[in-house]
C-alpha cells in the first residue's frame, strides 16, 4: 500500500508533497556526485568512502551553519535558487580554514508548507554550492511544520565534513610578526548582519525591486547575491604556498574572526585603503549612520577570507589566487602585540 495519511494531511502535513520534492531534487543531487559517494538519497544515512591514500593520520573536520535572516530577502523576491549556495558556503568555508578538503554536505529544510517546486529550487542551490566546493550532497531532510513556520516561509541549515592529514592542519601556530595578510574579495554581504541590513534599508515588497544606480542593480539583487565559496582556490593555494593561518570573515566581521587565526603574542594590522571599495557597504554605512567600528565588527567589508603567509610569499600567493579566478590583495600584516585586530 502506498504511504498516505488523510489524518496527517488534515493536520497540515502532506507526505505526498515530500515524495514529489524528492523526485524533483534527484537531478540536482546527481550533479554533486564525486568519487567516494556510496549511496543515493532516500536512505537513512548518507554513505561516503573517503580516499585515505597517502595520509598518515586522517582527521575529520566538520562545520555547520544556516543562512539566517537573509532568507527574508528570498521570501520577498520569491527567489529560492541561491540561498542553498549561501548555506553550503557558510559551512565549507569554515572547514577549509583548517586546511581540510570538504567531502560531503547534508542540508535541512524546515517549512510551513511543503511546496515541492520551491524545495527543489532550494536544493538546486545547495547542489550548485556543492559543485562549487567540490563536495557531494549525500543526504538531507525536509520537514513540514505547519503552525511553526508560516506557509510560505522556511529555514535552511546544513553541515559539511572534510578531511585533512594531521600534519597538514592549519592552526596558526607557525604565524610570525612580519607575515603578510592576504584578503580574498567577497561577493558582497554574504550571509551575515542581515537583521541590521533589513532594518537600515527597511526592506519590504515595495523597495526590494528598486533599482539603485550606486549598486548597479536592484536592492534585492544586491542583498541576495550568494556567498562566495573559497574552497577550490584556497586548496590550490595550499599546494603552491605555505599557508600559515586562515580566517573566514563571517558574523562578527574582522574584530571577531581574525583573532581566531592568531596565536598569543601577535596581532593583525589591516589597512582600510587596501580593501576593495564595494558600494553596498558604503551605502549601508551612510544610510544607517553606522559607526566605522560597527561596520568592521559586523560585515566582511569586501573581504570574505584572510590568509596569512610569509612576507616573501605574498605576491606569489596573490598571483596563484588570481590564476584560480579569485580576486585577492595584500591587506595587512602580522605584528607583535595582543590587540587582536587593528584597523588602520
Cell output for 54: 597517502
Compute the distance between CA of residue 188 and CA of residue 224 in angstroms, rounded to an integer. 9
Q: Whose CA is closest to 284, among 182, 184, 192, 183?
A: 192
Per DSSP, the three-state class of 286 is: helix
Q: Do residues 85 and 42 touch, judged by C-beta distance below 8 A?
A: no
Read off the pLDDT of each residue in 125-140 and give the average, rounded to a whole number.
97
> Residue 282 to residues 218, 292, 331: CA-CA distances in angstroms?
16, 10, 18
Place of cell 605574498: 314
What is the distance between the alpha carbons of residues 222 and 77, in angstroms, rounded to a whole number?
A: 12
Rounded to the nearest 10°, the torsion over CA 100, 101, 104, 107 is 60
The answer to whether 265 and 329 have CB atoms below 8 angstroms apart is: no
- φ, ψ at 258 (rounded to 5°): -60, -40
| Predicted model pTM | 0.95
Q: What pLDDT is stored for residue 3 in this prediction? A: 64
d(CA 51, CA 37) in angstroms, rounded, equals 11
Task: Identify the band that residue 16 occupies on the pLDDT scale cut at 50, 70 and 90.
Answer: confident
In angstroms, rounded to a whole number, what is the distance separating the alpha carbons of residues 71 and 154? 8
Write down the pLDDT at residue 1: 47
Please provide residue 250's backbone torsions phi and psi, each rounded to the nearest 5 degrees.
Answer: -115, -145
The Cα–Cα gap between 248 and 90 comes to: 9
- Domain segments of the chain: what residues? 6-168, 180-343
CB atoms within 10 A of CB 313: 19
CA angle 224, 147, 199 (to 5 degrees): 35
Q: Which residues, 6+ apart, have CB-to-CB distance to 239 below 8 Å?
A: none
Query: pLDDT, tens digit, for every residue of 173-227?
Result: 999 999 999 999 999 999 999 999 999 999 999 999 999 999 999 999 999 999 9
Topology of the domain covering 180-343: Phosphoribosyl-aminoimidazole Synthetase; Chain A, domain 2 (3.90.650)
Multiple choice CATH, 6-168, 3.40.50.720, 3.40.1010.10, 3.30.1330.10, 3.40.190.80: 3.30.1330.10
- Check whether 307 has a pLDDT greater than 80: yes
Within 8 A by CB and 6+ apart from 2, the residues are none
pLDDT in tens, 175-190: 999 999 999 999 999 9
Contacts of 325 (CB under 8 A, 6+ apart): 233
Closest among 210, 200, 175, 139 to 306, alpha carbons compared: 175
Given a contact cutoff of 8 angstroms between Cβ atoms, the answer to whether 130 and 163 are in contact is no
- Which tens digit of pLDDT belongs to each residue from 251-296? 999 999 999 999 999 999 999 999 999 999 999 999 999 999 999 9
Q: Look at the alpha carbons of 281, 282, 285, 286 in this order and tell me if their dihedral is positive or negative.
A: negative
pLDDT at 60 over 60: yes
Q: Is 36 left (phi over 0), alpha (psi -120 to 50) or beta?
A: left
Amino acid at each position: 500500500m502506498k504511504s498516505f495519511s488523510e489524518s496527517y494531511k488534515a493536520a497540515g502535513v502532506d507526505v505526498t508533497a515530500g515524495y514529489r520534492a524528492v523526485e524533483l531534487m534527484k537531478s540536482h543531487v546527481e550533479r554533486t556526485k564525486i568519487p567516494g559517494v556510496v549511496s543515493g538519497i532516500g536512505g537513512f544515512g548518507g554513505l561516503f568512502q573517503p580516499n585515505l591514500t597517502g595520509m598518515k593520520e586522517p582527521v575529520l573536520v566538520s562545520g555547520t551553519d544556516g543562512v539566517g535572516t537573509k532568507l527574508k530577502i528570498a521570501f520577498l523576491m520569491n527567489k529560492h535558487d541561491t540561498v542553498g549556495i549561501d548555506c553550503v558556503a557558510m559551512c565549507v568555508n569554515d572547514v577549509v580554514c583548517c586546511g581540510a578538503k570538504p567531502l560531503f554536505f547534508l542540508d535541512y529544510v524546515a517549512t510551513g508548507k511543503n511546496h515541492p517546486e520551491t524545495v527543489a529550487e532550494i536544493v538546486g542551490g545547495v547542489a550548485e554550492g556543492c559543485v562549487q566546493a567540490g563536495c557531494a550532497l549525500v543526504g538531507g531532510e525536509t520537514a513540514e511544520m505547519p503552525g511553526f513556520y508560516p506557509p510560505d516561509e522556511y529555514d535552511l541549515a546544513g553541515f559539511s565534513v572534510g578531511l585533512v592529514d594531521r600534519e597538514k592542519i592549519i592552526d596558526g601556530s607557525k604565524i610570525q610578526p612580519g607575515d603578510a595578510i592576504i584578503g580574498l574579495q567577497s561577493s558582497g554581504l554574504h550571509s551575515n548582519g542581515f537583521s541590521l541590513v533589513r532594518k537600515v534599508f527597511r526592506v519590504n515588497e515595495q523597495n526590494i525591486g528598486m533599482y539603485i544606480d550606486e549598486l548597479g542593480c536592484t536592492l534585492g539583487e544586491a542583498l541576495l547575491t550568494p556567498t562566495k565559496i573559497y574552497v577550490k582556490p584556497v586548496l590550490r593555494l595550499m599546494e603552491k604556498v605555505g599557508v600559515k593561518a586562515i580566517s573566514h570573515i563571517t558574523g562578527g566581521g574582522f574584530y571577531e574572526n581574525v583573532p581566531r587565526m592568531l596565536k598569543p603574542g601577535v596581532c593583525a594590522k589591516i589597512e582600510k585603503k587596501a580593501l576593495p571599495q564595494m558600494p553596498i557597504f558604503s551605502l549601508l554605512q551612510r544610510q544607517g549612520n553606522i559607526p566605522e567600528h560597527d561596520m568592521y565588527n559586523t560585515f566582511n567589508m569586501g573581504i570574505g577570507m584572510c590568509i596569512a603567509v610569509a612576507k616573501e610569499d605574498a605576491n606569489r600567493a596573490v598571483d596563484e589566487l588570481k590564476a584560480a579566478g579569485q580576486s585577492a590583495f595584500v591587506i595587512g600584516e602580522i605584528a607583535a602585540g595582543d590587540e587582536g585586530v587593528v584597523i588602520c
